């Protein structure tokens, strides 16, 4: 009986830190996602995403093959006008038990002089060797405007 009790205590002590570690990683991912949106509003969308992108980034594109690799993405965006009128906010995030991979899902908003566009996005994040989170996959879609709360 003592061995069983000791085994249960050891097992619970092993799972508790892992749960806290996972929660901490999830919060770090949320923080990175929000910081990326804040920086994009100040520095520009393309410039910011290239800063936060992992070297092995995969960026899906509607109706085209994805852009693979940070250098290819920089080349794809070169010559295009950068924007500061886009913002986003995650509404769901989760980290893997390992604490080195996770995702965010959220809503974005893009304002032009003529219109406002809305959509959803997904971003897959990978923790770098130096502890910094960078994204490896990012994509999204357009949606109707959110319904107003009555």
d(CA 99, CA 97): 5
State pLDDT tens for residues 100-122.
999 999 999 999 999 999 999 99
- Residue given tokens 């950068």 in the structure block: 82
| 3-class secondary structure per residue, 43-90 | HCHHHHHHHHEEEEEEEEECCEEEEECHHHHHHHHCCCCCCCCEEEEE
Q: The pTM is what? A: 0.83
Q: What is the architecture of the domain spanning 2-143? A: Roll (3.10)
For residue 17, what pLDDT is reported?
54
User: For residues 14 and 97, is the Cβ–Cβ distance under 8 A?
Assistant: no
> Per-domain residue ranges for the chain?
2-143
Mean pLDDT within 44-72: 96
Average pLDDT of the chain is 89
Average pLDDT over residues 77-101: 95
């Amino acid at each position: 009986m003592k061995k069983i009790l000791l085994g249960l205590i050891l097992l619970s002590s092993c799972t508790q830190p892992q749960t806290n570690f996972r929660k901490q990683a999830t919060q770090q991912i949320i923080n990175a996602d929000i910081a990326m949106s804040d920086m994009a509003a100040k520095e520009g969308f393309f410039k910011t995403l290239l800063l936060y992108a992992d070297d092995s980034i995969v960026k899906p594109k509607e109706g085209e093959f994805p852009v693979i690799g940070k250098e290819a993405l920089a080349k794809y965006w070169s010559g295009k006008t950068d924007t500061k009128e886009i913002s986003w906010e995650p509404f769901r995030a989760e980290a893997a038990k390992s604490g080195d991979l996770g995702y965010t899902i959220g809503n974005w908003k893009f304002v032009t002089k003529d219109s406002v566009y809305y959509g959803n996005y997904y971003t897959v994040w990978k923790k770098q060797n130096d502890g910094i989170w960078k994204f490896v996959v990012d994509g999204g879609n357009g949606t109707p405007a959110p319904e107003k709360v009555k």
